[in-house]
Structure 1
Amino acid sequence: MLLNSFIILIYINVCLASTGDLSPFFQKCVDRCLFSNCTKDDIGYKYPRIVPLSLKLLRWTCKDNCNYECMWGTVDALVSRNWDVPQFHGKWPFVRIFGIQEPASTLFSLMNLAVHCRYFYYLIHLNGDQTMVRFWKMNSIVNIHGWIWSCIFHTRDVRLTEIMDYICAFSIVSFSLLCALIRLSYWKTRKIKCIFTIIMLIVFLNHTAYLATGLFDYSYNMFLNVFVGGLTCVLWIIWCLKNIHKYKHLRKCLIFVTLMPAVTAFEILDFPPIWWLIDAHSLWHLATVPLNIVFYNFIIEDIRYLQKEDVIKKL
């Protein structure tokens, strides 16, 4: 008994020096679990009748389940000794609910999805075939598609859902930049709008092809998203400050573009999940819900303003 305790202490000590999934304690646990519960391919279960239906529906392989069970065995050993909680495969440990890996992030992604669906329904019932109406409708569709994949990714993190989540995230930020460019050049010629559209399409397709290889640099992907998103915010801020004395509805846009970079700070923060459910990333998803509502209110008021201006110019 003393020898076993000593061995566990050694394994946990090593765990503190590296990520959780690289610790000998975790790896030994997984090896034992695979031998006892899994078929030779590590995918199937030797005793499938005892596997919950939720795990079968969400395609948790036997190896995935062993990783999850052994993760908590390692975490429990650490917490009982008041030691730091490590990450596993680059992620904090989360309590699995009905097979969902990150319940809070999934829930908050669904809330964002609901916001975009609600306002897309509103946009399609707006009168007129104005340029900005069409672009804001497409923007809603891009966001709806992106948040669907965010829900899927946080429900089950596998290679395909990870890549799709990154592609969709970039589609959101790149199309947001395009909408900003179209709005800021609204009174310019159609040729300029076409040039902006082609440039952003090329940028998006190029980065999507890069992400689709699955061999991308995570730091570069983050940098590009932050750069495009930051550029979008800067353009909106300059335009709002320049015209806010003429158009009161620009205040809502200004609120959005100034608070969005602030809540993005949640992505920089990093701490073990509260109640093993809520981490900094999930809080970022939660914070974007009210901000998206504010921005949609700006969009609707701006569309109405442009419609009035178009009527005046035709007279």
Structure 2
Amino acid sequence: MHWKQLNCMTDCRYYCMMQREEERRLGGLSPVQYHGKCPFKRVSVFQEPLSAALSALNLLMHFTDWLSFFLLVKYRLPLRPQTKRMYYEYTGLWHIYAILSMNAWIWSSLFHTRDIDVTEKLDYSSVVVVLGYSLIVTLLQIFNVKEGPARVMVAAPILVFVTTHILYLNFYDLDYGWNLKVCVAMGVIQIVAGVTRHTS
């Protein structure tokens, strides 16, 4: 299947969905989801044009923020005189976070442009990676973990969990409900850890 061409199955799904929704609208019924998705009208090759545009805008914002952070760290912040290393120990971690976030927004843009199996899996997987990595960075900063071996001890269980979850989604069951619960749980842990640390 070429990127801009729609294959027979997706065409059939789309036109059947739109026909069914028109029948529902004429019957005074509200829209329903098809194949786990809301019925959106295509615009050219864009399956969900607004979502694709907003994802691309998020990608642009993450890129400009990362670029400004990079320029700040590289050219404006002083280095430690003895080691010539930065005063802020988490700089490298934030660069990785920026790259992972930009990757997630790329796949989100592509997924909302063309919802096919590979873009869906990469979109969901990259979001889980960003949330897992964000949880790691949050815990490292909250507990002021600066040494390499200690960082590995904090990161290893989360990396194992995230990897297992991604493998589950991609090779066993792409369960939206379970994925949502996992993502919300990782987000709540970050918030609770941050609030607990800052209020103590």
Normalized against structure 1, the TM-score is what? 0.56
What fraction of aligned residue pairs are identical, expressed as a percent? Answer: 26
Partner residue of 1:112?
A: 58
Q: How does 1:272-287 map to 2 (within 5 A)?
A: none
Query: Pick from 165, 169, 175: which aligns with 1:217?
Result: 175
Q: How does 1:91-170 map to 2 (within 5 A)?
A: 91-125=37-71, 126-127=73-74, 128=79, 129=86, 130-170=88-128
Distance 2:136 2:47 in 1: 34
Partner residue of 1:203?
A: 161
Based on CA coordinates, which of the two structures has the bigger radius of gyration?
A: 1
The alpha-carbon deviation at position 147 of structure 1 amounts to: 0.8
Partner residue of 1:63?
A: 9
Distance 2:155 2:59 in 1: 25
Partner residue of 2:31?
A: 85
Q: Structure 2: which 5+ runs fail to align? A: 80-85
Distance 1:187 1:209 in 2: 29
The alpha-carbon deviation at position 215 of structure 1 amounts to: 2.3
| Residue-by-residue CA offset, 1:233-278 (whole Å, 9 max, x unaligned) | 1111222334xxxxxxxxxxxxxxxxxxxxxxxxxxxxxxxxxxxx
Contact 1:163 1:214 in 2 (8 A): no
Aligned-residue CA RMSD (Å)? 1.9
The alpha-carbon deviation at position 174 of structure 1 amounts to: 0.5
* AA in 1 matched with 2:67: Y
Partner residue of 2:82?
A: none
1:76 partner SS: helix
The alpha-carbon deviation at position 177 of structure 1 amounts to: 0.4
| Residue-by-residue CA offset, 1:64-91 (whole Å, 9 max, x unaligned) | 2122122222211221221222221121
Partner residue of 1:298?
A: none
Contact 2:140 2:146 in 1 (8 A): no
* AA in 1 matched with 2:171: T
Partner residue of 1:227?
A: 185
With over 3 angstroms needed to count, the CA separation of the structure-2 counterparts of 1:161 and 1:191, relative to structure 1, is same
* AA in 1 matched with 2:52: T
2:44 partner SS: coil
The alpha-carbon deviation at position 188 of structure 1 amounts to: 5.7
Partner residue of 1:239?
A: 197
Q: Structure 1: which 5+ runs fail to align? A: 1-42, 44-55, 243-315
Contact 1:185 1:193 in 2 (8 A): no
* AA in 1 matched with 2:13: N
Distance 2:15 2:161 in 1: 42
Distance 1:60 1:100 in 2: 11
2:139 partner SS: helix
* AA in 2 matched with 1:95: K
Contact 2:145 2:151 in 1 (8 A): no
The alpha-carbon deviation at position 63 of structure 1 amounts to: 2.7
With over 3 angstroms needed to count, the CA separation of the structure-2 counterparts of 1:63 and 1:216, relative to structure 1, is closer
* AA in 2 matched with 1:68: Y
Distance 2:12 2:126 in 1: 30
The alpha-carbon deviation at position 187 of structure 1 amounts to: 5.8
Contact 1:123 1:133 in 2 (8 A): no
Distance 1:236 1:143 in 2: 20
Distance 1:99 1:221 in 2: 27
Distance 1:229 1:58 in 2: 36
1:131 partner SS: coil
* AA in 1 matched with 2:163: L
Q: Judge which range, 232-241 or 132-141, deviates more.
A: 232-241
Contact 2:89 2:146 in 1 (8 A): no
Distance 1:234 1:100 in 2: 38
